[in-house]
Amino acid sequence: MLAQRPTLADLAGQQWDLIVVGGGITGAGVLLEAARQGRKALLLEQRDFAWGTSSRSSKMVHGGLRYIAQGDVRLTRDALRERERLLRDLPGLVERATYLFPLRKGRFPGRWPMTAVLSLYDFLAGIRDHRFLSRKELLRRVPGLDDTGLSGAMSYTDALTDDCRLVIRCLLEAARAGGQSLNYARVTGTRRDDGVTRVLVRDEVAGEEGELSAPVVINATGAWANRLGDDNGQGPRIRPLRGSHLFVDPQRLPVDDCLTVMHPRDGRPVFVFPWEGVTCVGTTDLDHGDDLDLEASASGAEVDYLLELVNGQFPAARLTRDDVLSTMAGVRPVIASGDGKDPSKERRDHAVWERDGLVTVSGGKLTTFRLIALDALAAAGLLDPRSARRARRSNAPLFRPLPEAPPQVDAFLHGAQDDDALLRWVLRNEAVVHLDDLLLRRTRLGLLRRDGGEGLAERLRHLSAELLGWDDTRWGQEWARYQDLRARFYGVPPVERAAA
């Protein structure tokens, strides 16, 4: 479905209504909505689909309790409605999960403020799902949790997903409606003349350069948004904020529910939750000063910070770096307030701005991708305000089942990711160019297994020979590339002195 890789010459020969730059959830959402509106649209991604932030989030499809606590009721309401829609449309890929918020005596927030916030939260979502758990019940559900001052917990529900699979699912759905997408296609510049925007593209696979054009181009490059186009510094500025996660051996830290716990150092909420068979801990939130051309990676200080949290909350666990299977860091494209706020206090809303035929959309959340896409299409003049309003309110399904796919594709959160039928589907239909696309994003085998997938190497070598035509030389290159990337950007960095 995404498998036939077109050449730039093929693409240049077609008349596009819209070119979308950036293959994260925002770009994929824009492509999907544009294709559904009957527009001829093309998406270009410089690396792999979801290589940027959209494979590195906290995997939560949620309203965000934090936003409601900050008084941002509109953002929370929109996100909760989108959550309910995704739960309905993508069972197995977006799943309701129980969240527990332990309460400790003398600590804010207490039971009654939390009850008030959760009542509003559920009301906005149109459900009633929160309740108080006694201390005893909580300790039965979360054995090993530090019981100092513990008075119980608030229980409520939100949802979990696999963010990269969500992007791929949008691209597959867009393809069904005629939307095209190409990974490893870097846009190196844009230029406006004669009422069209010209896009210079480098096909990183073929090693070719070309020029494509469309009346309008949407820049959905997230944290990279200020690099494309020249708005003379007049548009909003992106403040790249890094958030890192640890994937921990579930034998060493088993959890069945998503826990929100406060870091002893700075009181920031951090999640400890079950994800695709392992335990995930995150996130940090700090200014990201590294080169955006490199993959983001967790620092040693961030690993220490997260281990400190876990060992404080689960004193008997005594986790060390050896218990961490892998790490993952992402860069949040936050619209800077410009007043040097604490990173965690910056708003998470999106912004859309236009200059010279280039509409830029950045910021926001995974959860609200559909609404962000509609805003971007309206700003691009591809949706009139009335249709945009109607589309926002529409309850029509955005996704339909993929009858040709094995059931594991739509039941990913539980699926055995090394299942033969799933691997074959992915290799045939999901535009895998490199082995790391398969092991780090289409599946998460490289992150979830202690051996990084080494035990599967022989099987994968055969499958990629059969389905992608890789010979032994190519396999050797791909395996070396994957091992190098995994070690440099997804490994467990050594202890550092600096604070997170």
Ligand X SMILES: Cc1cc2nc3c(=O)[nH]c(=O)nc-3n(C[C@H](O)[C@H](O)[C@H](O)COP(=O)(O)OP(=O)(O)OC[C@H]3O[C@@H](n4cnc5c(N)ncnc54)[C@H](O)[C@@H]3O)c2cc1C
If one asks whether residue 45 binds ligand X (CB under 6 A), the answer comes out as yes
Report the residue number, 142 or 296, with the smaller CB distance to ligand X: 296
Q: How far is the CB of 26 from ligand X (least distance, A)?
A: 3
Report the residue number, 211 or 322, with the smaller CB distance to ligand X: 211
Size of the site for ligand X (CB under 6 A): 39
Question: If we measure between CA atoms, which residue out of 331, 342, 240 comes closest to residue 283?
Answer: 331
If one asks whether residue 229 binds ligand X (CB under 6 A), the answer comes out as no
Question: If we measure between CA atoms, which residue out of 80, 284, 275, 248 comes closest to residue 163?
Answer: 275
If one asks whether residue 24 binds ligand X (CB under 6 A), the answer comes out as yes
Residue nearest to ligand X (CB): 24
Q: How far is the CB of 461 from ligand X (least distance, A)?
A: 28
Q: With the CA atoms of 61, 67, 73 and 74 taken in that order, what torsion angle do they form, in degrees rounded to the nearest 10?
A: -60
Report the residue number, 330 or 452, with the smaller CB distance to ligand X: 330
Report the residue number, 150 or 200, with the smaller CB distance to ligand X: 200
- Radius of gyration of the chain from Cα atoms? 22
Strands (E), 7-104: 18-21, 41-44, 60-61, 94-104
Secondary structure of the chain: what % helix, strand, coil (to 5)? 35, 25, 40
Q: How far is the CB of 244 from ligand X (least distance, A)?
A: 7
Sole binder of ligand X in the list 32, 57, 82, 261 (CB under 6 A): 57
Residues 243-272 that bind ligand X (CB under 6 A): 243
Distance CA 397, CA 381 (A): 24
| DSSP code, position 344 | G
Q: How many residues does the chain have?
A: 500
Q: How far is the CB of 25 from ligand X (least distance, A)?
A: 5
Hey, what are 187's tokens?
A: 């846009």
Stretch that binds ligand X, among 15-23, 87-95, 151-159, 171-179 (CB under 6 A): 15-23
Q: With the CA atoms of 141, 145, 149 and 150 taken in that order, what torsion angle do they form, in degrees rounded to the nearest 10?
A: -20
Helices (H) and strands (E) in the chain, counts: 15, 19
Q: How far is the CB of 474 from ligand X (least distance, A)?
A: 24
Check if the beta carbon of residue 294 is closer than 8 Å to that of residue 223. no
Sole binder of ligand X in the list 224, 412, 425, 470 (CB under 6 A): 224
Residues 58-77 that bind ligand X (CB under 6 A): 58-60, 62
If one asks whether residue 54 binds ligand X (CB under 6 A), the answer comes out as yes
If one asks whether residue 431 binds ligand X (CB under 6 A), the answer comes out as no
Distance CA 417, CA 448 (A): 10
Residues 282-341 that bind ligand X (CB under 6 A): 283, 330-333
If one asks whether residue 442 binds ligand X (CB under 6 A), the answer comes out as no
Distance CA 429, CA 332 (A): 29
Distance CA 319, CA 304 (A): 11
Stretch that binds ligand X, among 150-158, 168-176, 364-372, 437-445 (CB under 6 A): 364-372
Place of tokens 């992915």: 426
If one asks whether residue 161 binds ligand X (CB under 6 A), the answer comes out as no
If one asks whether residue 87 binds ligand X (CB under 6 A), the answer comes out as no
Question: What residues line the site for ligand X (CB under 6 A)?
Answer: 21-27, 44-47, 51-54, 56-60, 62, 186-187, 220-224, 228, 243, 283, 330-333, 364-367
